[in-house]
A and B are shown apart, each in its own frame.
Chain A
Amino acid sequence: MSDYADYLATYASVAAIIGVGVLLAAGMLGVNRLFRPTLTTPAKLLTYESGVDPVGAGWAQSNVRYYVYAFLYVVFAVDAVFLFPWAVVFASIGWAAAIEMAVFLGFIAVGLVYAWRKGVLSWT
């Protein structure tokens, strides 16, 4: 049972970091609130859209091209997630690791070539 208690105790530092983080954020926001003047204007109640005035309702359609680019980004992000741990153990495995990763990257390349040939990558 003491093993288990020890095991749980290793999480104490995690809990401490979470606690400090919450206190820090709350403290900064709280001090701000105490010192700043509060002026209400209608402009402040507008939805914030990256500095652009909000247009139309929430159900507006967005261009499908953004979706395609988001999709490509996810593909490469997931790709990188696998590349980092691979890079750590690459030296101890050697050529087999290089071939395996080449196969993996090859599959992604096939998908990308397909997207390119289908005209997905051009913006017009």
Chain B
Amino acid sequence: MSAVSVQAIVGAAPSPIEAPDVDYATISPLLIILGAAVLGVLVEAFVPRAYRFVTQIAVAVVGVVAAFVATVVVGAGLDTVDGEVTGRGGPTAMGSLSVDGPAVVTWAMLLFFGLLGVLLFAERRLDGGLSAFTSQASTPPGSADERHATRLRIEHSEVFPLAMFALGGMMFFASANDLLGMFVALEVLSLPLYLMCGLARRRRLLSQEAAMKYFLLGAFSSAFFLYGIAMVYGYAGSFGLAEISTAVSSQIGGQNLLLAGMALILVGLLFKVAAVPFHAWTPDVYQGAPTPVTAFMAAGTKAAAFVAMLRIFFVAFGGARWDWAPAVWAIAIITMLFGAIASIAQTDVKRMLAYSSIAHAGFLLVGMAGLTSGDGVTSVSAVLFYLVAYGAAAIGAFAVVTLVRDAGGETTHLGRWAGLGKESPVLAVAFTIFLLSFAGIPLTGGFISKWSVFAAAWDGGAWPLVVVGVVASALALFFYIRVVVLLFFAPPQGDGPTVAVPSPLTWSVVAITVAVTIVLGVLPGPLLDLVQQAGAFVR
């Protein structure tokens, strides 16, 4: 090929490529968290082992707090946008991110969960001065190498940078404004979580099995999501949510591509939020993963995936609402009923909390089927409130699980929890508050959040969902009350449960989550105002 023809090919580019224009201040929370993650990798490489764990905690905590401050600054500076719906903020970074009201509220929520998660990861007083993570993940479970590594007190401090990467991915996922960015964010949040699930110090085989299951099923669901993106690109000719929305409302091209694409994307996202029938991984992974990781994952993944799901389906597919709403209705109903009924049969605390998490995904889907705009409680604000209340209670409940122990580590069998009220009244009361919040009893955050999603659904005309939701709540209530009775009134088995004395780290997590759960139930006003002022998604 001659030089002239090469020149012709290069010169034939349709338009010159411009340097991207990025407003770094607006996306600073995201950059701070990912920066903390990269710094954590370098700490792991260069800081001597003796100081590594403490340095990692410092980097992670400073990063999360700095990102939270930056989020508050960004949130306060968002301009109000008046369109067909009221919103704040808008697309930035060449339209690839939408830093709007819901995105900023989700960032703040995820950073709060991230801080609680880091505090739980940092706990080292429960297991003889070692963290909840394995000494060396590469040693076979039960081998001499493993015992040797434990004797040398080697610790995995990689879990902190991994958590920061996952947190960055969650924040990106909740604010991505095009499908390609969303896919990248989904992988950035998932891959560290797969790894973190396999790092437990106790019951390592169970933990590795959980990581393997989560990875295989997660990769499978990512493929669904990606295929859906390809279909939607084929329909709309663009990855941008705004362009897809225009294509959907002007009904160009073949509807079959759009329907198939929406269905596949919905499957990928419903997997991440653990809705029936895509929930099968949840109990195994929640049970096998190290409990601090389960806490972080249960709260964070659910929040990020739900906000991303609302963003895709309200912004991009808002014009095709009548096509996807029936599927969401059906899945919400079976998820609520299955989660409530299956949790009744559980004998393991972590599995019980996993099924409760499935049931809560159903209630959140009820919120998604609600009112999209108007004066009342909208879907977006109801779901945001629900995610804060559920996430706080879930992290608190798993934090309590890390404290009830015997010689072999955590005792998660429910029977062994009998009589916890006598052994440690404070802990039992804290766990009871979380359970009552899950059940939706008044004066807890769970009541206000259930009320808000039901109100949004009722105003949006989804009253059958509300009826099923109330029935499912009543079913679940039976089970939660049974656990409370077990904690306080059942005779202890054998010696009864023993409660480890934690450092102030875990205590503060339990105290903060109890406080949030009660404050959201008694004084929900400020947060309800905040999520309502956040307004709608801006594309």
Q: Which residues of A contact B (CB under 8 A)?
A: 88-89, 92-94, 96-97, 100, 107, 110-111, 113-114, 116-118
Q: B451-464 interface mask toward A, CB cutoff 8 Å, 1 = contact, 0 = none? A: 00000000000000
Partner among B17, B19, B41, B46 whose Cβ is within 8 Å of the Cβ of A111: B41
- B residues in contact with A114, CB < 8 Å: 41-42, 44-45
B505 within 8 A of A: no
- B residues in contact with A111, CB < 8 Å: 41
Contact (Cβ within 8 A) B42 A113: yes
Partner among B17, B20, B42, B45 whose Cβ is within 8 Å of the Cβ of A118: B45
B66 within 8 A of A: no
B16 within 8 A of A: yes
B76 within 8 A of A: no
Q: Which 8 residue pairs across A and B have the least CB separation, nearest first?
A: A117-B45, A96-B19, A114-B45, A89-B17, A93-B19, A114-B41, A113-B45, A110-B38
B10 within 8 A of A: yes
User: B130 → chain A, closest Cβ, in Å?
Assistant: 20
- B residues in contact with A89, CB < 8 Å: 17
User: A72 → chain B, closest Cβ, in Å?
Assistant: 16
Contact (Cβ within 8 A) B10 A117: no
A92-B16, A97-B19, A117-B46 known; A110+B41 contact, CB < 8 A: yes
Contact (Cβ within 8 A) B45 A94: no
Q: B1-30 interface mask toward A, CB cutoff 8 Å, 1 = contact, 0 = none? A: 000000000100000111110000000000
Contact (Cβ within 8 A) A94 B42: no
- A residues in contact with B45, CB < 8 Å: 113-114, 116-118
- A residues in contact with B41, CB < 8 Å: 110-111, 114
- B residues in contact with A96, CB < 8 Å: 19-20
Contact (Cβ within 8 A) B19 A94: yes
Interface CB pairs A-B, < 8 A, 18: A88-B10, A92-B16, A92-B17, A93-B17, A94-B19, A96-B20, A97-B19, A100-B20, A107-B38, A110-B41, A110-B42, A113-B42, A113-B45, A114-B41, A114-B42, A114-B44, A116-B45, A118-B44
Question: Which residue of chain B is the closest to A115 with respect to CB atoms?
Answer: B45
User: B103 → chain A, closest Cβ, in Å?
Assistant: 23
In the complex, what distance in Å separates the CA atom of A100 from the CA atom of B19?
10
- B residues in contact with A116, CB < 8 Å: 45
User: B140 → chain A, closest Cβ, in Å?
Assistant: 13
In the complex, what distance in Å separates the CA atom of A107 from the CA atom of B46?
16
- A residues in contact with B42, CB < 8 Å: 110, 113-114
In the complex, what distance in Å separates the CA atom of A44 from the CA atom of B336?
62
Question: Which residue of chain A is the closest to B44 with respect to CB atoms?
Answer: A114
Besides A93-B17, A96-B19, A111-B41, 5 more A-B contacts (Cβ < 8 Å) are A89-B17, A92-B17, A97-B19, A116-B45, A117-B46
Could you tell me which residues of chain B, from 120 to 136, have a CB within 8 Å of some CB in chain A? none
In the complex, what distance in Å separates the CA atom of A88 from the CA atom of B11?
11
- B residues in contact with A100, CB < 8 Å: 20
In the complex, what distance in Å separates the CA atom of A88 from the CA atom of B44?
36
In the complex, what distance in Å separates the CA atom of A114 from the CA atom of B165?
15
